[in-house]
Amino acid sequence: MTLTVKEKKDVEIEISEAWCKGCVICVDYCPHDVLIMERGKAKVANLAACTACMLCELHCPDFAIVVRDKSKE
């Protein structure tokens, strides 16, 4: 049996360095290890794995991470 994982090619993630307080909440919520911490700020490490589930954006307390699912725009 093959499992087809729908790849999301048209996703963009924007992180505001000025607003990110390094709380790690986005990293904790991401089910696909897309995000990592680097020098106290969140950073995108594996965009290809992002399914645009929006969990990170919903729970970032500082409005610092924005996920654009261009297929929905």
Sites of contact with other proteins (CB under 8 A): 18-19, 21-25, 28, 57-63, 66-69
Q: How far is the CB of 39 from ligand SF4 (least distance, A)?
A: 12
Name the residue among 20, 26, 17, 18 with its Cα closest to residue 59: 26
Q: Residue 67: count other Cβ atoms within 10 Å of its Cβ.
A: 22
Residue 50 touches which of ligand SF4, other proteins, none (Cβ within 5-8 Å per kind): ligand SF4
Binding site for ligand SF4 (CB under 6 A): 13, 15, 20-26, 29-30, 32, 34-35, 42, 50-56, 60, 62, 64-65, 67
**Inter-CA distances, 43 with 5, 26, 71, Å:** 24, 10, 23
